[in-house]
Amino acid sequence: MLRRFNSITAFLPLIVFLLCARIEASVHEYPGERFLSKGNALVVHGGSEGLYSSIPNLNESSLPDSFIRSGPIHAIVFEVDDREAIGGSAYGGQRAVCCTADLAKLGVCTQGEIIHRPSTNNLGWPRVFGVSFDVDKVETILPPRLIQITKSGMYNLYFIHCDPNLKEVVVKGKTIWKNPTGYLPGRMAPLMNFYGFMSLGFVVLGIFWFSQYARYWREVLPLQNCVTLVITLGMFEMALWYFDYAEFNETGVRPTGITVWAVTFGTMKRTVSWLIILMVSMGYGVVRPTLGGLTSKVLMLGATFFVASEVLELVENVGAISDLSGKARLFFVLPVAILDAFFILWIFTSLSSTLNKLQARRMIAKLDIYRKFTNALAVAVIVSVGWICYELYFKSNDVYNEQWQNAWIIPAFWQVLSFSLLCAICALWAPSQNSMR
């Protein structure tokens, strides 16, 4: 009888009031998500976000019943620590989400329903809500539910059913995940303040650099113009990321336009930064007036890096609203990693050659600057390798995103490292009365 039903309108706002917490969450929309087979169940993933606990003395009487099992379509919400409370097995075999005939015979569940056990750490969880089709209806509505979060954690929402006759069912609607001050997911929320501080940092650096630039504009080198471009791009990037998260925090919807511009300015900044470091390493403007025949190769490498990085960042950031780890596939990450390694190899090879030329020509002042520059680069590379190892360790030990409160540090570190290296370059090559010499 249910085989002809081909749609379900599921509207489940998870409005989570966290008045005393610090982090936010977001709005998840389902334009028509189809159920996918997972084990013996059909599942739609509704979202995963880190949420902080709410004030415990809110009016409990306004909250709905914790467990509702009224039909073949279920919405189940659980904290990641309680993942083992979902599903079961009659004889120690493969874990089943839906209650099988064998498990029903043991009396632990009702056949065809979702298997779940009460959490030992979080009273009243997981939450399960059910809805069924009327005989003559082709759609059904899951009534709005309000869920209070009493324990900070990574929460997951899944729409699940166990009836193979409902393979054509789709989920339409939205869920609202909200913490105290807005809609940013817990994993992303600290980044809004971080980019605010980074914007301030670029403003301070810009004041120093532009004051030197205006004071000694007659002595400015082409290389210093490139540094000016990087600082300007950095200001725009940090401001755009801040406004991206601020808008997301205010509306619950990721602003695609601002995200794309933030990604683009960031990619441009990284590309120009790599090219500047490479040109400095080659001795451009110090040992040699031009790059000669290497110009086309340098520009080609820069263009390739820009395209690869832009694609990777767009895939990872545009429309991302859940607190899941980066979803970029290997074929997006690998080209950028290879190009980064090629830049580093070419930079240190060129630096070695430039240092030898300066030493042979006994240009002591320039040699001293280049040695400091080499040391700064070497420290940056060593720190980067160490952080990559830590990042691999962090992700390998955080399969279920349980460390979501600390995950923001990983992308923030790369921004801080890049800014620190830019500050070192500005200190070494700031416009001065001796720039031309």
Q: What is the DSSP string of 66-132?
A: SB---SSEEEEEEEGGGGGGB-B-SSSSS-BSBPPHHHHHTTSS-TTSBPB---SSSTT-SEEEEE-
Residue of 33, 267, 53 whose CA lies nearest to 168: 33
Mean pLDDT (the chain, rounded): 79
pLDDT, tens only, 162-184: 877 777 788 888 888 877 777 88
pLDDT, tens only, 79-126: 887 777 787 665 445 567 888 777 777 777 777 778 878 888 778 788
Highest mean pLDDT among 84-98, 322-336, 340-354, 359-373: 340-354
Q: What are phi and psi of 288, to 5 degrees?
A: -130, 140
Q: Which two tokens stand for residue 410?
A: 């990983």
- The neighbour count for residue 248, using CB atoms within 10 Å, is 26
Say if residues 322 and 158 touch (Cβ distance below 8 Å). Answer: no
pLDDT value for 247:
93
Residue type, 262: A
* Measured distance CA(249)–CA(255) in Å, rounded: 10
pLDDT value for 368:
85
Domain ranges of the chain: 6-176, 189-428
Highest mean pLDDT among 202-206, 388-392, 407-411: 202-206
Residue whose entry in the numeric block shows the structure tokens 């929402």: 157
Say if residues 310 and 263 touch (Cβ distance below 8 Å). Answer: yes
Q: Which two tokens stand for residue 196?
A: 């605010």
pLDDT, tens only, 143-155: 777 887 777 788 8
Question: Is the model's pLDDT at 42 over the cut of 80?
Answer: no
Percent of the chain topping pLDDT 90: 29
Question: Is the model's pLDDT at 5 over the cut of 60?
Answer: no
Rg (CA), the chain: 28
Say if residues 138 and 6 touch (Cβ distance below 8 Å). Answer: yes
Higher pLDDT, 56 or 176: 176
Among 8-22, 155-169, 214-228, the minimum mean pLDDT is found in: 8-22
Q: What is the assigned CATH class of domain 189-428?
A: mainly alpha
Question: Is the model's pLDDT at 243 over the cut of 60?
Answer: yes
Residue of 191, 192, 144, 188 whose CA lies nearest to 322: 188
Q: What is the pTM of this model?
A: 0.82
Residue of 92, 96, 125, 131 whose CA lies nearest to 111: 96
Q: Are strands 8-10 and 141-142 parallel, antiparallel or unpaired?
A: parallel
Say if residues 183 and 398 touch (Cβ distance below 8 Å). Answer: no
Given pLDDT bands bounded at 50, 70 and 90, which one contains residue 252?
confident
Question: Is the model's pLDDT at 288 over the cut of 90?
Answer: no
